[in-house]
Structure 1
Amino acid sequence: MKRSFYHYLMTLRGPNSADEEQVFANQASKDIQFPKQSENYEEISDYLELNVNYLDNMDIFDRIWQKYLENNR
Structure 2
Amino acid sequence: MDRSFYQFVLTYRGGEKNDPYSVFAETMFNDQSFPKYERSFDALSRYIEEKADSQMSSVLFDELYRHFEDRFL
Which runs of 5 or more structure 2 residues have no equivalent in the other structure? none
- More helix per residue: 1 or 2? 2
Q: What number of residue pairs does the alignment pair up?
A: 73
Letter of the structure 2 residue corresponding to residue 10 of structure 1 = L
- Give the match for residue 22 of structure 1: 22
Letter of the structure 2 residue corresponding to residue 42 of structure 1 = D
2:3 is the alignment partner of 1:3? yes
Task: Work out whether residues 13 and 25 of structure 2, in 8 Å CA contact, stay in contact via their aligned partners in 1.
Answer: yes
Q: Percent identity?
A: 29
Q: Give the deviation of 1:67 after TM superposition.
A: 0.5
Distance 2:39 2:46 in 1: 13
TM-score (norm 1): 0.90
Q: Give the deviation of 1:24 after TM superposition.
A: 0.3
2:8 is the alignment partner of 1:34? no
TM-score (norm 2): 0.90
Q: Give the deviation of 1:26 after TM superposition.
A: 0.5
Task: Work out whether residues 10 and 29 of structure 1, in 8 Å CA contact, stay in contact via their aligned partners in 2.
Answer: yes
Following TM superposition, where does structure 1 have runs of at least 4 consecutive aligned residues deviating by more than 6 angstroms? none
Task: Work out whether residues 6 and 35 of structure 1, in 8 Å CA contact, stay in contact via their aligned partners in 2.
Answer: yes
The alignment yields a C-alpha RMSD, in angstroms, of 1.3
Which runs of 5 or more structure 1 residues have no equivalent in the other structure? none
